[in-house]
Structures are given as structure tokens and as C-alpha cells.
Amino acid sequence: MKWLLLLIIICDVVPLQGLTTNVSARLHVVNIGSVFTFDSLIGKVVKVAMEAAVEDVNASPSILNNTLLRIIMHDTKFSGFMSIMEPLRFMESEAVAIIGPQRSTSARVVSHIATELRIPVLSFTATDPTMSPLQFPFFIRTSQNDLFQMAAIADIVRFYGWREVIAIYGDDDYGRNGVSALGDKLAEKRCRISYKAALPPEPTRENITDLLIKVALSESRIIVVHASFIWGLDLFYVAQNLGMMSTGYVWIATNWLSTIIDTNSPLPLDTMNNIQGVIALRLHTPDSVMKKNFIQKWHNLTHVGLSTYGLYAYDTVWLLAQAIEDFLQGGGNVSFSKNPIISELGGGNLHLDALKVFDEGSIFLESILRVDRIGLTGRMKFNRDRNLVNQAFDVLNIIGTGYQTIGYWHSHIGLSVMPPEELGNPSFLGQQKLHSVVWPGHTTQNPRGWVFSNNGRHLRIGVPNRDTFEEVVSVKSNGIITGFCVDVFTAALNLLPYAVPFEFVAFGNGHDNPSNSELVRLITAGVYDAGVGDITIITERTKMADFTQPYAESGLVVVAPIRKLGSSAMAFLRPFTPQMWLVAAVSFLIVGAVIWFLEHKHNNDFRGPPRRQVITTFWFSFSTLFFAHRERTTSNLGRIVLLIWLFVVLIINSSYTASLTSILTVHQLSSPIKGIETLETNNDPIGYPQGSFVRDYLVNELGIHESRLVPLRSPEEYDKALRDGPGKGGVAAVVDERAYIELFLSNRCEFGIVGQEFTKNGWGFAFPRNSPLAVDVSTAILQLSENGDLQRIRDKWLLRKACSLQGAEIEVDRLELKSFWGLFVVCGVACVLALAVYTVLMIRQFGQQRPEEAEGSLRRRSSPSARIHSFLSFVKEKEEDVKARSSRERHLEDTSVNG
């Protein structure tokens, strides 16, 4: 009985284990759902491509062995509602993944449901850049993100030097989000969308006509069309009838246009005539043997043209097949269960309880994201952002009955005439360009990209109206406006390759100086189209408007009363400051004393009576100033000290000579104001031009109290205020731009510029923000500067005959001790070291030549003063006398010993 019971248990267990093992092994069919519109432009291609892909997968022995891949396709019939409802049917039929929906709007809704049921949704047509993996974790885009397409367009716009574009798009998620991405990418290139022209999702011809009329009235001629396959060609038909496909226009179409051309090629001749000169983008797929063989096979499958969406559809099926293979080999199990949240809702008439959760959907999702294979479209691999690793586009130019590839765009390289797969060679990396383009109107000249919005209206150019400094800008009583600024502006406009209709409009009452900052503000407000005059480019104004290249430099300077310094009997003392004179004189005496001390013991030139030695020392010291000393130096230490001292004397002598020459040969001017630093430290009143930015600069930047500032309106008021001075209600100095001050000083010799120019500014012409005219005028100003016309205009208006003191200089700074203290320190150190070495040598010699006397002195007179007196006597004694006495003492000692 026991053995029988054991046999029954084994028979029950073994079949059960075998059955469990074979459930996964005998998974004969894996379902994949797909939703799209069969009769749409994309659907015609996608249906054939996916069917071909499933057939090839099931026929391949290298993948999904003993498992049949089945794809279930549902037709949404151009209905957004069906695009949402049809995927729910796949979630009832236990499909492991869904390919689609076709539109980004539907993909958003379906992805929310797929996330709850853990079923991956793959789409190669929902290219909305805002569908991120953070918000839709089970949504996978198997084609290019529109973000990269917009980056390519931004690079094209920047490549041709355009700054503004007009975006035409459908007013849905796909259109709005795509254009938003375009705006972001243009901003990175310092460009922008000047007008967002939205159309209804399904516009009529009337809607398109009304919109294009508004576009035609805009300045920009660069038009980006992010359209739908349904109404895109109608847009170009209307544009052709409105004359907007002519010279000067630039049309850039996203990849919808290239898809139409590839699918329906050849297009009717009338349709091709409507899109001549258009630049279009197309998803880039590298050439390969696999792609070539599939194209040959395609012609046997259907008469519909093969677009890039067909290639991506084929690769998407193979991507899923590879992921299923990896999932099953990794022990994955295709099983579904009820969602507890849906179960709580109850089935009801909608039968929501039929929706099931893919139990291992998250694991299958990871299998999809890990796939790395080569397909018809190139490498199918996802990066961390779930974008394909190779983001590239073809740049096409529609010409004749077809198109020409004028270049390529790659996310890591930008624009190039070489295909991205061939750019691995570093020699190609420098070819960042495009081939020539045939633009609308059959011209090869690159369009300027903008026109004046209304050719019937002249540009209103604001010009400051004042009655001072007429050389800069002047408004005559008869309305004629002349001056340096006006001539430069007119000359610049004459260099532009197009005509600019304009008229000058006086700004100001002609008496009070108008505020140039207010003029710039009125340009921003649209009162004026530009500003011409002495408009200084400062930070505050650049925040309101765009400025051209500066055409004149004009920093701030200080002008103050000056007086001429006449020659005097003591002019020779002026090069050095009193401190410098004192230190130099003391140095002469010290060096002379040191040389005497080093040479006294063995040099007869420095011996003799005390009076003679003092005279010799003084004479030697000061004669070195002229290198006329006659006394010889015999000791090495003395020669070293003298050599260093003569070098110091050479430097001092040369500096003195140069400074005195300048003082005696050039007119010297003196002023108590030395520059802006003096005005910052004292409390004297300061004049400034009324209405100028100078006031704000002095108060905000330099911290000068506004109570010290006196507004002055004209050169005559400058003159009077400076002559009166602070004591009579005038000013100590005037701060203004150099150009004005030079005109003011041309016939007033009693004033002059003191100190250095303390700001670096320039004059420029002001234009509204992002005005393309500012760039063109800047280029014209550079041409004027290069060919010399700018300087000739300046000489005509601003060059004036100066007064007789123009060549004079403000009083030269006297040479101070701080300029020479290093030399004196070096010389002092040399003297101290020489004295120290000499003293050590004397002590050593004293101990060697007079040892008995030194010992006797120690025994008889042990006081320190006695020992010092004995040593000084030794030092004072002549070297020959010391040696002679030592010889006699040794001779006497020898005689006494022999006797």
C-alpha cells in the first residue's frame, strides 16, 4: 500500500512539472496591436511595411523560434475618437504591445491608459517633443523627435544669417508643441519667431488666404511651415496665387512635405510648380544593402511610394520581435491579470473589467529599451532620454519635377554636405555648409530674409533737436538736418544693397537739450523707427533697443581751467620733489663717508689733516654726480660700493635730465583739478550737459552727491561757469564726452582736459529690438571705416583748428622718491655689508699684528672704552706704519734673544 501511494504521488507530480515547463516553451503566438488610418498618406505605406516585417520575422530562423508573431491592425478611419478606442480593444485581447496611434493627440490619451495597464506603446508618427518618458513611461518613440527637426531648422536659419522667421502651423498639440520647440532652438541661436500664424486643424482655403495675407504684410520673409498632410499643399497653392512664391521669400517645410513627395511621386506638374524653391527636411536613413534589397522588394508589394515612415514601421516590428525574443529567453512570462482599480469600478455597460494588466510589462519594456540592432533606418538603439541615438535629417531643395539633396543635419555635427555616416573621418568635420540653393523665383542669390512691412510708409528717423554743437547734428530753421551723425547715417544707407525710404523727424524743442534715453524709449514704443544722432551706447539703452556698430568713440573726460607755468630762476629744482632732493643729498654724504672709511687706512688720497679729509670726502661724494672724481679707490670693497653708487647716479642723472628737458621745452599747464579722482574727493560743484546720461553716471557709478551737479545747456554756459569758478556760483570742472569737449576747446585756450578718459563709450544708431536693419547698417559702418570714408566725414565736421596751446601738456608729475627707492635700498645694503666685512677684517688684523699690546691693554686697562680706543687707534693708523712697527718689534725680539 505504501509503494502504491508513492507511485500515485509521483505520477501526479511529474506531469504537472512537465506541463508547467512547457507553458512558456509552447507559447505559439504573440499578439501585437496596431492602430492607424489605412487610407491616410502614412497608413498606405505603414500597412504594407508592417505586414512585410511580420512575414520576414516569422520566416527568419534566427528569431522567435517556434513562436508566431501576429499583428492585429485596426483602421481608425481618420477619427480621433477611434484612435483612442481601438487600442482599448487590444488591451482586451492580451496584446503585449501596441504600435500607434498615428497622431500625437491620440497618443497622449492612449499612453495614459497603457501606463496603468503596463503595455508598451510604440509610435513612429507621434513626434510631439513634449511627450517625455517621465510623464509617459510606457510610450516609446521609434522615429525622430520633432525637437531635433526644429534644431535643424534653427541651424539652417542661422547658417544663412537670418534672425526672424514666421511659423505657420495647425492649432493642435502637434503644431503648437512643435513650434514651441522651434522657438526654443531659435533662441539658442539668438534668433526668434516674429509671428506665430496658427490655422485650424482642418482649415479651409478662406482660412489659409486670410492668414497668408497677414503674413505678407509682415517684415520677415522666412516662413517655416509645420503643416498637416491634409492641408499643407493647399497652403502653397494659395501662396502661389498671392505671389508669395516669388523672389525674396524663403519657405522651409518640415518632413511632411518630403513624405508627400516620396509617397505620391511623381506629383502633378501644377503641384510641383507651387513648391519650387522650397527647402524641406526628411528623416535621414543611411544607404545600405539591406535598404536597397527592401526597396526592390517594395515595388513588388505595392504601387505606393516608399516613405521614411514605411522604413521606420518595418524596423519597429523587428524591434518588437527582438525584444520579445530577449524577454522570453530571459524567463519572461506573457500573462495578464485584472486591474484591481478597474475591478472596483465594476464592469457596467462599458465592460471596463475586460481590460487586463500585462503582469511583466515593466520587464518587457526594459527589454525593448535594451535592443540594439541595425535596421533599414540605421542603428535602432535608445539613449537615456529614449531618443534614437542617431538623430539626422536630409536637407532637400525642391527643383523641377523632383528635389536635390543640398546637405544633411546631425545633432552632434550640425549642417554638412557629407552624410552623417561618412563624417567619422576628421577631415570632413570642417565642411559645415550646404550646397547652393535655387530659391523661389528661380534665383540662386541668398534672400535677405526681410522687407519693410509697408513700402508706402517712410521710416521715421528721430534726430535730437538742439541749438548747440551744430557740428554733431543740427536742425535748421528751414527743416534741413545736417551734421556729422546725419552724414554717417546717409553714407551707410547708400552702401546697402536695397533702398530704404526714410524721413528725419526732429525730437526736441530746439532750445533745451533733449534726452537721448527718452528718444530710445520712443523707438521702443513705436513712435520712431530709428534714432540718429549723438546717442551714446550705454547699458540702460541697450536694454530697450538694438544699436549698430559704434561709428565714433567718445568717452567721458574732465575739463577745467588751466594756467601756463612760466620759467623761473628755480626751474631746475622742479624735476624732483623736495623729499627726493633730500634723500639724494643724504645718500651722497653717506656713500662718501663709507668710501672714506674703507679707503682711509691704506689710501693716501683719503689721509691727511682732519680738515683735508672732510673736504676730500665731500668733494669725492658730489663729484661722482658728474663722474669727475679724481681720487682712486684701491680696496675691493670700496670699488664694489663705488660701482653700485655710480649706477644709481647714472639713473638719477638721466631721469633728471629728461624731466628738466621736458619742463623747459614744452609749455607746462597747471590745474588744481588732476582728474575725476580730484572731483570725487572734494566738494566742489561739477558741471554736466543737460539731458545727458552723464548725470546718472556721476551719481550712480561714482557716488557723487547730486547737489554738487550743475546742468549746463551750451558751450557758452560751460565757458561762463568755468570762468566764475566755485567762488562765484560757477563750477570747478565740467564732465562731458570727449567729442564735445574737443569742439569746446578748439578756441578756448584757458581750459583744458585734465586726467585720463575714464569711460569707453561710443555713438551708435538705435533701432527697435531685433531689427534686421541694425545688422545691415552695422556692416555698412564697418565698410565706411575700412575704406576711409568715415574718417573723412569726421574730419569734415569735427576737425577744428586748435588754439596755440594745443601742443601744451598738463604739468608733468615731479619725480618722486617712490620711483627710485629700490635703487637707494640696494646701494644702502651694499654699504652696510661692505662696512661689516671691513670691520671683521680689521678686528682680525688687529689681533694678529698687535697681540702683545692687546694682551697688555687687557691687563692694564680692562675697561671697554680702553679696548675700543686701542682698536680705533689701530684702524686710524696707516697700513705701512703698522707693518713697519711690527717689523721693528720682531727685529728687537730677535736681537734680545741672541744677546
Q: Which residues pair with 475 in a beta bridge?
A: 481
φ/ψ of 416, rounded to 5, equals -160, 155
Same domain for 538 and 511, yes or no, is: yes
Instruction: Report which secondary-structure segment, H or E, holds 636.
Output: helix 636-665
Same domain for 401 and 483, yes or no, is: no
Same domain for 579 and 675, yes or no, is: no
Residue 173 lies in a domain: yes
Which residues neighbour 72 within 8 Å (Cβ) at sequence distance 6 or greater?
31, 32, 33, 34, 90, 93, 95
Angle, alpha carbons 14-17-19 (nearest 5°): 110
Q: What is the layout of strands, in order, in the sheet containing 68-75?
A: 68-75, 29-36, 97-99, 121-123, 139-141
Same domain for 274 and 162, yes or no, is: yes
Write out the DSSP string of 461-518: EEEE--SS-TTT-EE-TTS-EESHHHHHHHHHHHTSSS---EEEEEES-SSSPPPHHH
Residue 89 CA, distance from chain mean position: 54
Instruction: Report which secondary-structure segment, H or E, holds 115.
Output: helix 104-117
Last residue of a domain, which of 330, 348, 381? 381
**Whole-number pLDDT of residue 8:** 31
**Whole-number pLDDT of residue 322:** 95
**Whole-number pLDDT of residue 674:** 81
Contact present, 469 and 514 (Cβ < 8 Å): no
Same domain for 342 and 377, yes or no, is: yes
Last residue of a domain, which of 602, 634, 665? 665
Write out the DSSP string of 827-842: HHHHHHHHHHHHHHHH
Residue 647 lies in a domain: yes
Q: What is the DSSP letter of 439?
A: B
Q: How far apart are CA 787 and CA 793, in angstroms?
A: 12
Write out the DSSP string of 680-724: HHS---EEEETTSTHHHIIIIIS---GGGEEEE-SHHHHHHHHHH
Residue 317 lies in a domain: yes
Domain holding 178: CATH number? 3.40.50.2300
Residue 441 lies in a domain: no
Q: Give the residue numbers spanning the domain of 236.
A: 146-286+391-422
Q: How far apart are CA 508 and CA 510, in angstroms?
A: 6
Residue 436 lies in a domain: no
**Whole-number pLDDT of residue 21:** 32
Angle between helices 232-241 and 205-216 (to 10 degrees): 60
| Residue 414 Ramachandran class (φ > 0 left, ψ -120 to 50 alpha, else beta) | left
Residue 255 lies in a domain: yes
Same domain for 628 and 722, yes or no, is: no
Q: What is the DSSP letter of 606?
A: G
Task: Identify the burial level of 345 via C-beta atoms within 10 angstroms of its C-beta, where 0-12 means exposed, 13-18 middle and 19 or more buried.
Answer: exposed
Contact present, 754 and 733 (Cβ < 8 Å): yes
Would the pTM count as exceeding 0.85? Answer: no
Picking from 728, 721, 713, the residue whose alpha carbon sits closest to that of residue 751 is: 721
3-state secondary structure of 169: strand
- In the chain, the amino acid numbered 601 is K
Q: How far apart are CA 307 and CA 279, in angstroms?
A: 18
| Alpha-carbon distance values, 637 to 487, 597, 815, 838 (Å) | 74, 11, 31, 8
Angle between helices 173-188 and 104-117 (to 10 degrees): 100
Residues belonging to the chain: 899
Domains contained in the chain, number: 5
Picking from 222, 151, 218, 223, the residue whose alpha carbon sits closest to that of residue 189 is: 151
Same domain for 266 and 414, yes or no, is: yes
Instruction: Report which secondary-structure segment, H or E, holds 34.
Output: strand 29-36
Domain holding 776: CATH number? 3.40.190.10
Contact present, 602 and 632 (Cβ < 8 Å): no
Same domain for 262 and 401, yes or no, is: yes
Same domain for 359 and 484, yes or no, is: no
Same domain for 278 and 307, yes or no, is: no
Q: How far apart are CA 761 and CA 539, in angstroms?
A: 10
Last residue of a domain, which of 631, 647, 665? 665
**Whole-number pLDDT of residue 258:** 95
Same domain for 163 and 296, yes or no, is: no
Residue 646 lies in a domain: yes
- In the chain, the amino acid numbered 331 is G
Angle between helices 41-59 and 255-264 (to 10 degrees): 70
Residue 98 lies in a domain: yes
459-507 pLDDT, tens digit per residue, is 999 999 987 888 999 988 788 899 999 999 999 999 988 888 899 999 9
Same domain for 377 and 399, yes or no, is: no
| Residue found by looking up cell 639713473 in the block | 651
Q: Which residues of the chain have pLDDT under 70?
A: 1-26, 91-93, 341-354, 424-432, 453-456, 563-572, 574, 600-608, 626-631, 662-670, 800-814, 845-899
